[in-house]
A and B are shown apart, each in its own frame.
Chain A
Amino acid sequence: MSRAFRLLRTMPPSALVGAAVILLYVLVAVFAPVIAPYPEREVVGAQYLEWSSEFPLGTDSLGRDMLSRLIYGARNTIAIAFLATTLAFVLGAVLGLLAAVLRGWVDQVLSRIVDVVMAIPGLIFILLLLSVFGTSITTLVLIIAILDSTRVFRLTRAVAFGIVALDYVEAARVRGEGILWVMRREILPNAMPPLVAEYGMRFCFVFLTIAALSFLGLGIQPPAADWGSMVRENATLITFGDITPLLPAAAIALLTVAVNFVVDWMLHLSSGLKE
């Protein structure tokens, strides 16, 4: 506990602000039903109402309360991005560790597959797969997780390759530990700092990708409240100089900026730079 507190005190202001913003988002997402004045999917007024005391941010293209959808959007958008990133990480890290420990043909096969997948522009490949398998949340999460795991694989493999060569890993092998033990207890803890920073970066990337897909109408589908689709649905208001449709986009931007600030600090920590 005291260690966590000490870590908190060494954080630069930008990282502190970032962490606070992330915490705020998580709280809003968890307590959405308590905070939101109206239900997520209910039509409560006329279309495109202006900001008022009844509807603090007005209503959307169908007459649903903007503020409530913004709050519920935190839930859907963040949860799905979180799920996809975590899945990508588990997949990429396990395969990356395996490739580094086993080497030989396992490493060759996995690395060549990753090379080919990464030679196709990410968003374009996702769009291709979505048009084949259709747009549902499950396929969306799986496609993004599998494609994104390639980058985690590369990083994990590179980091683990350096660690595998060290004496204490050799010692563990000599005393007869199995592959899983070596992967989990010897290599993973020492590969953690860069992986944690990478997790933050990948989250931003996945989050922005899902937002972009939803904005294109190919991601999270209505009537679920989601920030990307909210911008798309209400975009016409912008041509009248109304900033309401920009709020969900700003919500996305603020979270990614916050995560990036924290990641920047973590990268600084793990690189050991005292600049």
Chain B
Amino acid sequence: MRDIVQLVIRRLLLGLLTVLAVSLVIFGAVSMLPGDAAQEILGQAATPESLAALRLQLGLDQPAWLRYLHWLGGMVQGDFGTSIANGQQVSSLIGERLANTLFLAGLAAIIAVPVALVLGILAALYRNTLFDRAISALTLTAISFPEFFIAYILILFLSVNLGIFPSISNISPGTEFWERVYRSLLPAAALSLAVIAHIMRMTRAALVNLLGLPYIEMARLKGATPRRAVVVHALPNAVAPIVTVVALNLAYLITGVVIVETVFVYPGIGKLLVDSVSKRDLPVVQAVCLITSLAYILLNLLADVVAIISDPRLMHPR
């Protein structure tokens, strides 16, 4: 038990170190801006005096490390600076949208994970049958499709031809919960397809890898049914790789939302990011980048911790 606690703590510290390194990289990337932010804001209209004044206002006269600490300190306290494009607080721009994005990603995860796991287990159970091959070809195809293709196919059939779902996810703070689910269902479906394919393939691979081992053969020889061999004997040992894949794919949802939110004009941080990049609104891009990286690192961390905990060998050290 102590081993596990030690491992988990070490992993958490490593995660913290990663977060710091990532924040440094993000800050460094933005500091590489040719010219600087003041020039970017003023553009052609810049006079030397106004440039100097704005630099002073933005704190650009300070050394880079001081600005980094200042920026990081602000981030920790929830102060993300002000947007260049419209002078609003970045935190107020992000707040509502982050909640919307988490709602969308959560909905996609609720659909995708159970479906993918069941399909993966079924494919491993009936491996090399027609069912398995069909699922394998289908998932490979789903992985190969660009997200916007899947999204537009869904729009074409379900919203234009059949008129079941709206093609634009019009969501405002006042929208009721079920109405919100209904309007987010199409983007969530577009998001979940690729995720289902990935998780399902890895679940199948993890299980099939185990099925060749002697202990499974032993289980079969003593009379366990194929289903029992897979579900009771193989599945517990496949938990670690499966959880890792699930976490990685939930992390993938973070980048997947960028495209899907753009297609469905969904008011989330993905759409905000794309708009800010085309306006070159660096404070917003920087903040969104840091927040998504944070979520990404946390999910990976969670996967590692679950993998450590799920390994029974660590529970009973010799």
Contacts and interface: CB of A to CB of B under 8 A. Distances in A.
Tell me whether A and B are bound partners: yes
A120 B23 CA distance: 10
A204 B26 CA distance: 26
Contacts of B21: 116, 119
B308 to A, nearest CB: 18
A260 B140 contact: yes
Contacts of B25: 116-117, 120
Nearest to B14: A115
A162 interface: no
Contacts of A130: 277
Interface string B8-30: 00000000001001100110011
B154 to A, nearest CB: 11
Give chain B's interface secondary structure class.
helix
Max chain A Cβ within 10 angstroms of own Cβ: one of B146, B149, B251, B289: B146
A228 B149 CA distance: 10
B43 to A, nearest CB: 13
B258 interface: yes
A207 B65 CA distance: 37
A48 interface: no
A122 B297 CA distance: 13
B143 interface: yes
Given A238-B152, A238-B155, A218 B278 contact: yes
A137 interface: no
Nearest to A240: B160
B289 A216 contact: no
Contacts of B255: 121-124
A125 interface: yes
A128 interface: yes
B79 to A, nearest CB: 20
Contact of B29 (A132, A253, A261): A132
Interface string A225-244: 00010010001001111010
B140 A127 contact: no
Interface in B21-59: 21-22, 25-26, 29-30, 32-34
Contact of A129 (B29, B167, B258): B29
B286 A128 contact: yes
Nearest to B297: A119
Interface in A226-275: 228, 231, 235, 238-241, 243, 245-246, 249-250, 252-253, 256-257, 259-261, 264, 275
Contact of B149 (A124, A129, A239, A249): A249
A212 interface: yes
A216 B144 contact: no
B219 interface: no
B282 A246 contact: no
B165 interface: no
Contact of A218 (B128, B152, B277, B293): B277
Interface of A: 14, 115-117, 119-125, 127-134, 204, 208, 211-212, 215-218, 228, 231, 235, 238-241, 243, 245-246, 249-250, 252-253, 256-257, 259-261, 264, 275
12 contacts: A120-B25, A121-B251, A121-B296, A122-B255, A132-B33, A215-B259, A216-B259, A235-B263, A239-B160, A243-B156, A253-B146, A259-B144
